[in-house]
Amino acid sequence: MSENTLFILKPDAVARNLVGEIISRFEKKGFKILKLKMFTFTLEQAKKFYDIHKDKPFFGELTSFITSGPVVAAIIEGNNAIATTRIMIGATKSFEADSGSIRGDFGLGLSENIIHASDSQESFDHESRVAFE
């Protein structure tokens, strides 16, 4: 079933020049890039994007990091895109993520965990609206 999802290459991925390498994984997997945008989140936009985490103790750290530098947002299309992308990015804690996953191969952090991807259709609708507004 073809569906769309969104991923964000976080400021650590951009600063470490990993943009091409990571996007290439999605292209090689067979996804089609529908939209691609580099920008820096405003604090207001970051709070809206991560609204679901607003009561978590790490909310301040999360919004502070995601606004700390440019990010690259992409909307991609392909079979089972939401779940397959979540498998490709790996566990939230990069230091526990499987080798072969994006976080497992490129990161060691938690806040600084390289990439975000929508985890449901509802998140995709919300997050793509905020990122591409």
Q: Which residues bind ligand CMP (CB under 6 A)?
A: 53, 58, 61-62, 92, 110-111, 113, 116
Nearer to ligand CMP, 2 or 72 (CB): 72
Nearer to ligand CMP, 2 or 70 (CB): 70
Tell me the closest approach of the beta carbon of residue 75 to ligand CMP, in angstroms.
Answer: 16
Q: How far is CA 132 from CA 4, 22, 40, 41, 110, in A?
A: 14, 20, 12, 11, 25
Measured between alpha carbons, how far is 112 from 120 in angstroms, rounded to an integer?
Answer: 22
Measured between alpha carbons, how far is 87 from 77 in angstroms, rounded to an integer?
Answer: 15
Nearer to ligand CMP, 1 or 40 (CB): 40
Active site residue 116: yes
Tell me the closest approach of the beta carbon of residue 32 to ligand CMP, in angstroms.
Answer: 22
Q: Is the dihedral of CA 25, 27, 29, 31 positive or negative?
A: positive
